[in-house]
Amino acid sequence: MSVVKSAPLEPAKRRHQTRQRARILAWLRETHSHPTAAQTHEALVRELPNLSLGTVYRNLEVLVSEGVIGEVPSAGGGVRYDGNAKPHHHFICESCGAIDDLHIQAPPELARKLRRARGRTARRIRIDFYGLCESCEPPRLLRGLG
Amino acid sequence: MSVVKSAPLEPAKRRHQTRQRARILAWLRETHSHPTAAQTHEALVRELPNLSLGTVYRNLEVLVSEGVIGEVPSAGGGVRYDGNAKPHHHFICESCGAIDDLHIQAPPELARKLRRARGRTARRIRIDFYGLCESCEPPRLLRGLG
DNA sequence: ATCTAAATCAGGAACGCTTCCTGAAAGGCC
DNA sequence: GGCCTTTCAGGAAGCGTTCCTGATTTAGAT
């Protein structure tokens, strides 16, 4: 048996703060798009010339696990990241794949419906609206002439 | 310039019906889980010994584009397939990843909120509830003693 | 400021899932 | 049955992600 070390209370995990992670988070927050890991790397490699793609992946993973950023499963199967940690929903363009944040609340009715249907409680509800964004929507003239 | 062929009206696309595609669809429908392409292949390769994984991918893609089955972007980043084409939503267990179909309707209020917030119309709304499924939920005795 | 141990990094190799390519087989239509 | 097209199996190629290595950076103590 091993003796329990009387170490001082320590946080879940000791983390160093690094320039790389700080820049990744900052850029993710000032960007309103929802970039992939590769896009994040591409955007930052100018100011951190030897930032490696692996580092980007690792740090995105860390930030997600800390709940500082969010993941958005995107259309093409890839994962995208979202610098906005506050719960919100998305409008996703079926044509160009653009993702737009929606700051609307899920109606409490939904939680009730779930409880009725399954007796379960949702810790989180995610709502994705699919449609055509403003740029991809064909102009009215071509649509509703009849 | 080329002369326009006076071909008879033909459906969107002419498709052969094949045993492979039929079995993939049938199995997807009788399965209540939401399998990946690999799992689908694994399940069918017994009765169709030289079914190739590429064929599974191609046919799943065809069935999705026809709207006969649905895609469910799953937690691990992979894509899962859903033999149930009728629109429905999902309850996803945060612990074990199980996906359960919910046959509830999105409240019309949601479409209104979207219109108010962005002036867009949703062709489809996806709602994912995240929580703990029955098997993963800790028993009441351990929870609410206080 | 210097030193030390642990965390993190860059770079590249390895891995797994998905797509693409080819010749062969089966389906649909006459 | 005969012909043309679609679909198939199998394998190679492609792409995104994870893993591995030794080198570097960080935080905290001296």
User: Which nt sits closest to B57, CA to C1'?
Assistant: C18
Q: List CB contacts (< 8 A) between A122 and chain B.
A: 91, 129-131
Contact B52, B44 (CB under 8 A): no
Cβ <8 Å between A131 and B110: no
Give B94's pLDDT tier (boundaries 50, 70, 90).
Answer: confident
Q: From B116, which residue of chain A is nearest by alpha-carbon distance? A: A104
The pLDDT value recorded for residue B10 is 39
Give me the mean pLDDT over the B89-104 stretch: 82
User: Which nt sits closest to A45, CA to C1'?
Assistant: C10
B123 in contact with A, Cβ within 8 Å: yes
Query: Tell me: the pLDDT tens digits for A107-140?
Result: 999 999 999 999 999 988 989 898 888 887 776 6
pLDDT over threshold 80, residue A34: yes
Query: B130 CA to chain A: closest CA distance, Å?
Result: 5
Assess whether A73 (CB) lies less than 7 A from strand D.
no
Query: Tell me: the pLDDT tens digits for A90-109?
Result: 888 877 677 888 999 999 99
Give me the mean pLDDT over the A40-64 stretch: 95
Mean predicted lDDT score pLDDT of chain A: 83
Q: How far apart are CA B44 and CA B38, in angstroms?
A: 10
Give me the mean pLDDT over the B15-33 stretch: 90
Percent of chain A past pLDDT 70, that is, above it, reads 82
Q: What is the pTM of this model?
A: 0.75
Q: List CB contacts (< 8 A) between B78 and chain A.
A: 77
Mean predicted lDDT score pLDDT of chain B: 81
Closest-CA residue to A19 (of A11, A27, A29, A31): A27
Contact B104, B56 (CB under 8 A): no
Percent of chain B past pLDDT 90, that is, above it, reads 42
Helix or strand or coil: residue B143? helix
Give A13's pLDDT tier (boundaries 50, 70, 90).
Answer: low
pLDDT over threshold 70, residue A75: no
Strand D near-CB residues (< 7 Å), A 22-61:
36-38, 53-54, 57, 61
Query: B128 CA to chain A: closest CA distance, Å?
Result: 5
Give me the mean pLDDT over the B2-10 stretch: 36
Q: How far apart are CA B13 and CA B63, in angstroms?
A: 13
Query: Tell me: the pLDDT tens digits for A37-48?
Result: 999 999 999 999
Q: Which residue has the higher pLDDT, B94 or B124?
A: B124
Q: How far apart are CA B142 and CA B146, in angstroms?
A: 10
- Identify from A79, A116, A129 which residue to disrupt to test chain B contact, counting B C-beta atoms within 10 A and taking the largest count: A129
Q: How far is CA A38 from CA A43, A51, A79, in A?
A: 9, 12, 10
Q: How far is CA B54 from CA A27, A125, B38, B57, in A?
A: 39, 35, 10, 5
The secondary structure of residue A90, as a DSSP letter, is: E
Q: List CB contacts (< 8 A) between A61 and chain B.
A: none
Give B117's pLDDT tier (boundaries 50, 70, 90).
Answer: very high
Q: How far is CA A126 from CA A37, A104, B14, B87, B125, in A?
A: 22, 11, 38, 16, 10
Q: How far apart are CA A129 and CA A102, in angstroms?
A: 9
Task: Give φ, ψ of A89 to 5 degrees.
Answer: -120, 180
Assess whether A116 (CB) lies less than 7 A from strand C.
no
